[in-house]
Structure 1
């Protein structure tokens, strides 16, 4: 690049002059950069709106599902019987008497200093499965380790048990079933599986000094106790599933008197779902309103400046809002949603009247829940149409703006190259000017010297 001779001869500030000329030359590029900044702000705002509308579509889609409003709650008259609601629950009531709790088996061996035989071989029969186990040695630690590694559903623990007559420390092996229920009962034999089959292996838990501390047991509840229809239900755990449709109960203590389990429609949950849908709608509308507002401010000189929001005048955003608002507020079978406490306000947002909704739901639950699901279905469709990641209306606008920004970036890059060439030309021109002026000045000095050296003549 040619370097400018900055006013060495002419006295001109050629660098400042070139910079000023370049500012004028760069005006079109500056306008392009401003447009890029404006487009990027719009893209960012559109992406935020698209995310919020997609969230609305997801929420409304869930509320629109057939069983979404089949919401029930269950209660129990005893703290020892707790309830859990799952899908497909329905209203109902049931009395149960808790007869027993589920438990796992626990047994201990007789006191010993080491396993009675070496090599140490034992067999555990649990849940109808026979497992032969060989320990690395006759030490009780090795036997317990081998049992625990065998995954039989039984855990072995070495427990101190005093000393024998010779003063040698003794221990017992405690065997604990990992799972509760009668089917998880187990027996521990000293010997191989073949010896168990032949009935020649001794039962360690039946030996002298050994004991079954706790037997394996199912939990049980009795329905309609004290009547001819009384029926006992058992469970390997303390949880009973689907005694009533979609309802599980867990028991923690036996009972003498019947415990009443009652399942009713949960109007509070239904109201919360409807309120959440309205809140999500208003979140979208509030974002659009905020980004569309005209803001009053002042510039550096104190003059008033009006700045329009990024969505101001945007027909696509306005159309999306109107379609979602219509989906939420349009009549349902000739009835306005306002009859159920869901209404449109003068400012173009939605309002939820909890008391009015609760009263309408209590009076006609079928109609009200159907209305909420219809609103949710329409809102889900409108929101999905706007935010779909492939062909949503807002998505398409974002893609279009991103393409525009890319094209503007290419044009700005072209201007960078053009302006660089123009600056180089100006620098070359002014350098040539300074060089020419320098030559002329030198020639002028030479001529002046020549003239001064000419002889003078006089006339008399």
Structure 2
């Protein structure tokens, strides 16, 4: 705290240094409070660090605890004529499907056969025309009836479903093409009447048609159609996108969907890693002092030790009647960590997918507190620790921050007291200097009087 400068001119005393020393003694209680604030901030920071790790564990446990995570498939295609992809859902199937790409989806498009000599030439009478789709007509209003004006009117009409282009057929010869913005049979349209008398007759460019796959005998194949080139949910969770039409001599496309064991194993590994990260963070923050090595901010904290124990108990507590976690490659080490044998897990998942899934998700038990699945248990432990406002860590963080706020208020109160005390000391030392000055003057007068008697 600044003391100002009131060094004595009469006494010769460094009064500012004296006041500074006295103020350090006076500020000792405030210094102790600031130390408490710093300590409490480290404690809250430690809780927040553990909370972050436990939230990551909660996310990872929920990911593997979602039944659809076990339904994912990996799709492969035998030909570049089609690609395949899968989405994880309760209906995802494993298996294969063989077909031919007979047609790709096309957009309906027309052109006009009588060019005009300039894009500014008039091509229609009236102020509007209609474009007819299967679901009804749409009207285009026109203010400029030139070729370019009509093109602009079509392209500026919102949600019309077609776009127009004026292009040069040969030097000084221009016409118009109108093309649907969608694919398939639904893209077909025609013009009401013959609105563009200046451009002659309509000539089709492409007929709007659906994409088509054929399955089975070449003479009487089963046809599968789509308004786009993507056939969604062709099998449960499987979508196929046709890329190019196949010639009759091309070999058929075979799409195979296999269980995504690698994807499931990756999610399990993520949960194990998240659990170990949380355990490591708790160990770091709660470690005791050892010789010259300082302890963690939460040294000896029994509540955090209990959280770590609950994480470990999800594995050590067994699985009820569903088998052993060891059978799927998950075990505890002597130093309190989880290990995951991916090879053993993958073999178990391949051999018996339902049994393996049951070790993580206890679908038979409706009471969440009684579920034996590993993912269920991890989710419950992590959720209990991190739940907003009510979780173990959340309450400790809130309590710690409240304590810091209270301590900071007390520090601020001491600022006021110390400022007042400093002002008092400065006034007292100033008064002392004044008194000493008067005494010095009196002494000088007396000395003069005595000298005059001499």
Give TM-score scaled by structure 2 length: 0.86
Alignment partner, residue 220 of structure 1 = 212
Aligned counterparts of 2:401 and 2:384: Cα–Cα separation in 1: 20
Deviations 1:201-256 (A, max 9, x none): 98988x3xx4212111111112233597x421211111112221111111112334
How many residues of Structure 1 are paired with residues of Structure 2 in the alignment? 431
Corresponding position: 1:441 with 2:446 = no
Alignment partner, residue 84 of structure 2 = 83
- Tell which structure's C-alpha radius of gyration is larger: 1
2:136 alignment partner, one of 115, 122, 129: 129
Whether the aligned pair in 2 keeps the contact of 1:4 and 1:431 (CA below 8 Å) is no
Whether the aligned pair in 1 keeps the contact of 2:265 and 2:346 (CA below 8 Å) is yes
1:118 alignment partner, one of 94, 110, 125: 125
Alignment partner, residue 196 of structure 1 = none
2:161 alignment partner, one of 153, 160, 169: 153
Whether the aligned pair in 2 keeps the contact of 1:100 and 1:220 (CA below 8 Å) is yes
Give the Å deviation of 1:270.
1.1
Secondary structure of 2:69's aligned partner: coil
Q: 1:62 to 1:443 in 2, by over 3 A?
A: same
Q: 1:29 to 1:111 in 2, by over 3 A?
A: same
Aligned counterparts of 2:5 and 2:77: Cα–Cα separation in 1: 93
Give the Å deviation of 1:447.
3.7
Whether the aligned pair in 2 keeps the contact of 1:162 and 1:170 (CA below 8 Å) is yes
Aligned counterparts of 1:25 and 1:397: Cα–Cα separation in 2: 33
Corresponding position: 1:102 with 2:109 = no
Corresponding position: 1:348 with 2:358 = no
Secondary structure of 1:311's aligned partner: coil
Corresponding position: 1:316 with 2:330 = no
Aligned counterparts of 2:348 and 2:4: Cα–Cα separation in 1: 84
Corresponding position: 1:278 with 2:265 = no
Secondary structure of 1:212's aligned partner: strand
Aligned counterparts of 2:314 and 2:182: Cα–Cα separation in 1: 54
Deviations 1:347-381 (A, max 9, x none): 22211111221222223322222213311111111
Secondary structure of 1:49's aligned partner: helix
Aligned counterparts of 2:392 and 2:74: Cα–Cα separation in 1: 40
Q: 1:141 to 1:227 in 2, by over 3 A?
A: closer
Superposition RMSD in Å: 2.8
Q: 1:249 to 1:204 in 2, by over 3 A?
A: farther
Alignment partner, residue 391 of structure 2 = 392
Deviations 1:6-34 (A, max 9, x none): 23333322221121121122112111101
Alignment partner, residue 264 of structure 1 = 258
Q: 1:115 to 1:127 in 2, by over 3 A?
A: farther
Q: 1:453 to 1:175 in 2, by over 3 A?
A: closer
Deviations 1:402-440 (A, max 9, x none): 111111112112222222222233333333333333333
Whether the aligned pair in 2 keeps the contact of 1:188 and 1:203 (CA below 8 Å) is no
Aligned counterparts of 2:22 and 2:206: Cα–Cα separation in 1: 99
Q: 1:227 to 1:12 in 2, by over 3 A?
A: same
Mean CA deviation greater in 347-356 or 29-38: 347-356
Deviations 1:130-177 (A, max 9, x none): 2343422331111112222334322211111236xxxxx321111212
Alignment partner, residue 185 of structure 1 = 188
Give the Å deviation of 1:383.
0.8
Give the Å deviation of 1:120.
5.9
Give the Å deviation of 1:395.
0.9
Contiguous gaps of at least 5 residues in structure 1: 164-168, 193-200, 297-303, 456-460
Secondary structure of 2:83's aligned partner: strand
Whether the aligned pair in 2 keeps the contact of 1:105 and 1:215 (CA below 8 Å) is yes
Q: 1:98 to 1:370 in 2, by over 3 A?
A: same
Q: 1:234 to 1:18 in 2, by over 3 A?
A: same
In the TM superposition, 1:328-339 aligns within 5 A as: 328-333=315-320, 335-339=323-327
Secondary structure of 2:68's aligned partner: coil
Aligned counterparts of 2:5 and 2:102: Cα–Cα separation in 1: 103
